[in-house]
Chain A
Amino acid sequence: MTVSQTSPQKPDKGLLDKLPSVGNPVRRWWEGLGKPVKLTITIAFLIFLVILPLLNPPGISTDSAGLQFSNVLAECARTGLIALGLNVVVGLAGLLDLGYVGFFAVGAYVVALLSSPDSELALRWSWLACVPIAMVVTALSGLLLGLPTLRLRGDYLAIVTLGFGEIVRLLADNIGPLKGQTGFARVAFPVVGTSDSRPFGFFSNANNAKPFTSGLAWYWLIIVLILLMLWAVSNLEHSRVGRAWIALREDEDAAEIMGVSTFKYKLWAFAIGAAIGGLSGALMAGQVQFVNNQKFDVVTSMLFLSAVVLGGQGNKLGVLLGAFLIVYIPSRFTVIAEWKFLIFGVALIVLMLFRPQGLIPARHRLLGADLPKDATIDYEPDEEVDGVPPTNREAL
């Protein structure tokens, strides 16, 4: 509700349109290509991503900053996974979640509790066994947060989720068995490919034997998971669930009136988003092999949100790009590491002023309607559209 809505505002034509928009020309070029060309380019780009840490190109590599390039890329990919999960909640369902780091924390802690010898459960489970449990527990925590609060309006919901994230952090600080800052060491990791040079296999963070370091192993694993996630989320988007999400993002009241059970689908969004966050937390626990209560603060939640907003909420490739940028840039230019959040804060304001839709905006189009390219939907019931009488309108 804004005050200056007395006259129908024209969209600002000013600086806004003079700014170069990264996404649009690229998209036009892309959509003009044929299927085989598209497929070739996609595969080539994927292969490039997969071998990128092996190439370790000077200038792009972060080795000069003293950070192993494959580790940085693994972190980029992990954040990409988080951004995908948060995008389900924020970008698709339009629910602003400011406590997303809470789910990330829950996932990491579940793995630590089940697998670390420091945990009082003393179960010493393997990493792979912990992952589904971590995802189920975080999905349940998403439901737990959502059930009482999802009836709230947008900005109130944002505050409540923020509170939830903080409560998770404070619980990790205060509950004795969660070990506070001491944390859990020797968290489990997948043991694959043990040999003399790699006594604990590829995934152990003791594995620094180049070129197949532990960072590379995790990076490849996460790429596979991201592809799976992309496939799963795009199927969701084009299903009844995805349509319901988009409906309630665009206009919750209208969706409710049209018979979309908004509360149920909001819960789904929370649970699915949370589960992806939990998976990412489990990956973090496995890769770092240590979990404590640091790094689960509100600022980290804001960072994840920046990734989604910067890339373009609602666009899967966009949020992946956003996640890559927010992790890669501070790692590559360690000079600005201290300025990182200041730059993100300013970037958020500037983005919202000039390009609220993000770098690669989501396409707004009718879902599930295979209309010809130039078709327009129109609401006059007694008019012919494209020579089709109104009675045959359904055939469109």
Chain B
Amino acid sequence: MHITLAATTLADTWISFDTSSLIRDFWSLTTDGLTYGAIYALIAIGYTLVYGVLRLINFAHSEVFLVGMFAQYFILQALGFTPAADAYNEGVALTVVYLIVAMLIAMIASGATAVIIERVAYRPLRKRGAPPLVFLITAIGASLAIQQAFFVWRGQNPEPQIRLMTPVHVFNIFSAQIDNVQIMIVVSAVILMILADSFVNRTKFGRGIRAVAQDPTTARLMGVNPEKVIMTTFLVGGILAGAAALLYTIKIPQGIVFSGGFLLGIKAFAAAVLGGIGNLRGALLGGLLLGVSENWGQALFGGAWRDVVAFVLLIAVLMFRPSGILGESLGRARA
């Protein structure tokens, strides 16, 4: 059945309510949504860690991700790839090696960016005990500055894509066709998230992070160096955003552009809030939920409404559960 809602008696339909396509493609929409969701979750961890420790929304995190996107692009160019319509498909082993190299470079670039932002913009403010509003405006300034630096340098047209692999159908889940790109993204994202979770929950550094999140004063008295902990959180968040940047560029059809980080950043933040900000497992849950809801919404209302679904979901969740689905838990985790 195909129902059309139109505010006027116009022939043109700008919003549909098409349940048939949602039902028909339900499984493929869901698996694809989970793929996007895994990427959102990786970025969301950066927001969540920093918020857990500093109670600060790191607005510039979307630009940390952007730096990762550009870094992997340039390293692939340096390795001799040129933008082309067709993918290179150099065989599994070589492709994986290239991708791992690009991912490492993106991780280093993003991690460094995050640490530099912390050093240059946030640390002096902390030393001065600035009010939260000042932090937020600084974060916006940092985000704007990095984004616009890329705009001045690379212009407003997206860079042509470098494709290392084409999606090849591997197997089916119910009626959904799973391709190698999706498998790669989900597997790498899950591995990275397990690593991040173990880092926070099972290492000495992680214990320091949780201690500072819970009570910075006492943590300092117990010999935890808060400055070091804060650096670590920015670094870990940045590294994961760099990894997400590589995975995202493989997934999306369009090229890389200076404004490409903004929307992803907002969505990843929405994912973090959805699951409960300050909570690593919440970031995963929120990311997957957001990715799937977006895809379902797109099928229901039409492609143009995808982002509206994300924003409306964000506002709705904040209205009813300001602390998210799983609640804030970084500070109250098991020691």
Residues B262 and A298 in contact, CB atoms below 8 Å apart: yes
Tell me if B315 and A163 are in contact (CB < 8 A): yes
Chain A residue at minimum C-beta to C-beta distance from B51: A155
- Give residues of chain A (302-342) contacting chain B, Cβ–Cβ below 8 Å: 302, 305, 309, 338-339, 341-342
Binary contact readout B1-17 vs A (1 if CB under 8 angstroms, 0 otherwise): 00000111010111100
B57 close to A6 (CB less than 8 A): no
Q: Tell me whether A177 and B10 are in contact (CB under 8 A).
A: yes
User: Which residue of chain A has its CB nearest to the CB of B63?
Assistant: A345
The answer to the question of A367 belonging to the interface, with a C-beta cut-off of 8 Å to chain B, is no
| A309 adjacent to B152 (CB under 8 Å) | no
Docked complex Cα distance between A171 and B134 (Å):
31
CB-CB nearest in chain A for B221: A6
Contact A6 to B14, CB < 8 A, known contacts A167-B311, A173-B304: no
Contacts known (A149-B319, A174-B15, A174-B308); A349 close to B142, Cβ less than 8 A: yes
Q: Are A6 and B220 in contact (CB under 8 A)?
A: yes
Chain B 49-102 residues near chain A, CB threshold 8 A: 53-57
Q: In the complex, what distance in Å separates the CA atom of A12 from the CA atom of B8?
A: 61
B216-245 interface code vs A (CB 8 A; 1 in, 0 out): 110010000011001000000000000000
Q: Is the CB of A176 within 8 A of B14?
A: yes
B10 touches A2 (CB 8 A): no
Give which listed residue, B152, B226, B307, contacts A166 with CB less than 8 A.
Answer: B307
Given A339-B152, A348-B141, A9 and B312 touching (CB < 8 A)?
Answer: no
Enumerate A6-25 residues with CB–CB distance to B below 8 Å.
Answer: 6, 9, 11-12
- Residues of the A chain whose Cβ atoms lie less than 8 Å from the Cβ of B312: 167
B158 within 8 A of A: no
A97 to chain B, nearest CB (A): 12
**Is residue A1 within 8 Å, beta carbon to beta carbon, of the partner chain?**
yes
Q: Mark A43-57, 1 if CB is under 8 A from B, else 0.
A: 000000000000000
Contact B145 A342 (CB under 8 A): yes
Q: Which of the candidate stretches B118-126, B159-167, B198-206 sits at the interface with the other chain? A: B118-126
A347: nearest chain-B partner, CB-CB: B141
Please tell me the number of chain B residues within 8 Å of chain A, measured between CB atoms: 63
Query: Would A349 and B129 count as touching, CB distance under 8 A?
Result: no
Residue from A171, A176, A177, A356 within 8 A of B308 (CB atoms): A171
Chain B 292-309, CB within 8 Å of chain A: the 1/0 string?
Answer: 000000000000110110
Q: Considering the chains assembled together, what is the distance between the CA atoms of A338 and B150 in angstroms?
A: 12
- In the complex, the number of residue pairs spanning A and B with C-beta atoms less than 8 Å apart equals 169
The smallest C-beta distance from A74 to any residue of chain B, in angstroms, reads: 26
Q: A352 — which chain B residues lie within 8 A by C-beta?
A: 121, 125, 130, 134, 137-138, 141
A349 to B315, CA, bound (A): 28
Check B151–A305 contact: CB distance below 8 A. Answer: no
What is the chain A residue whose CB lies nearest that of B219?
A3
Measured between beta carbons, the chain A residues less than 8 angstroms from B134 are 352, 356
> Is B35 an interface position by the 8 A CB rule?
no
The answer to whether A159 and B152 touch across the interface, beta carbons within 8 angstroms, is no
B137:A12 contact, CB within 8 angstroms: no
Which residues of B are found within 8 Å of A156, using beta-carbon distances? 273, 318, 322
Query: Which B residues are in CB contact (< 8 Å) with A160?
Result: 314-315, 318
Say yes or no: is B177 at the interface (Cβ < 8 Å to chain A). Answer: no
Residues B216 and A166 in contact, CB atoms below 8 Å apart: no
B-chain residues with CB within 8 Å of residue A166 when the two chains form the complex:
266, 307, 311
Cβ contacts under 8 Å, B130 to chain A = 2, 352, 356
Provide the bound-state CA to CA distance between A239 and B127, in Å: 37
When distances are taken between beta carbons in the complex, the residues of chain B under 8 Å from A274 are: none
- The answer, yes or no, to whether A353 is at the interface (CB within 8 Å) is yes
What count of chain A residues pass the 8 Å CB interface test? 55
For residue A161, give the distance in angstroms from its CB to the closest CB of chain B.
Answer: 10
As a 0/1 sequence over residues 153 to 165 of chain A, the CB contacts with chain B under 8 angstroms (1 = contact) are 1111011101110
Q: Given known contacts A148-B315, A158-B57, A163-B311, is B8 in contact with A349 (CB within 8 Å)?
A: no
Structural contact, A175 and B14, CB atoms closer than 8 A: yes
Residue A33 is within 8 A (CB to CB) of chain B in the complex: no
Q: B129, A170: Cβ atoms under 8 Å? A: no
A4 close to chain B: CB less than 8 A? yes
Alpha-carbon separation in the docked complex, A6 to B220 (Å):
9
A155 to B59, CA, bound (A): 10
Q: Once the chains are docked, how many angstroms separate the CA of A151 from the CA of B323?
A: 13
A188 contacts B by Cβ under 8 Å: no
Inter-chain contact A3/B216, CB cutoff 8 Å: yes
Q: Which B residues touch A151, using CB under 8 A?
A: 322
Min CB gap A4→B, angstroms: 5
Residue among B57, B141, B143, B312 with most chain A CB within 10 A? B141
A299: interface (CB < 8 Å): yes
A191 CB-CB contact with B under 8 Å: no
Distance between Cα atoms of A160 and B316 in the complex (Å)? 10
Is the Cβ of A11 less than 8 Å from the Cβ of B128? yes
| Contact of A345 with B137 at beta-carbon distance under 8 Å, contacts A2-B129, A176-B14, A338-B152 already known | no
Residue of A nearest to B142 (CB): A349
Q: Tell me the chain A residues, 76-125 only, with Cβ under 8 Å from chain B.
A: 94, 96, 98, 120
Say yes or no: is B335 at the interface (Cβ < 8 Å to chain A): no
Within 8 Å by CB of A342, from B15, B148, B315, lies B148
CB distance from A42 to the nearest CB of B (A): 31
B36 within 8 A of A: no
Taking CB atoms, residues of chain A closer than 8 Å to B54 are 1-3
Interface flag for A5 (CB, 8 Å): yes
Assess whether A236 is interfacial by the CB under 8 Å rule.
no
Q: Which of B101-132 contact A (CB under 8 A)?
A: 120-121, 124-130, 132
- Cβ A309 vs Cβ B137 within 8 A: yes
- Closest beta carbon of chain B to A173's beta carbon, Å: 7
- Interchain nearest-CB distance for A279 vs B (Å): 25
| Minimal beta-carbon separation of A253 from chain B (angstroms) | 14
Q: Most chain-A Cβ atoms within 10 A of its Cβ — which of B121, B217, B318? A: B318
Task: Select B152's contact among A120, A171, A342, beta carbons within 8 Å.
Answer: A342
Inter-chain contacts of B269 with A (CB < 8 A): 159
Chain B neighbourhood of A356, CB < 8 A = 130, 134
Is residue B325 within 8 Å, beta carbon to beta carbon, of the partner chain?
Answer: no
Is there a chain A Cβ closer than 8 Å to B149's Cβ?
yes
Q: Is B181 an interface residue (CB 8 A)?
A: no
Task: Give the chain B neighbours of A302 by CB distance below 8 A.
Answer: 140, 144
CB<8 Å pairs between A and B, sample of 7: A3-B126, A96-B136, A96-B137, A152-B322, A155-B136, A173-B304, A339-B152
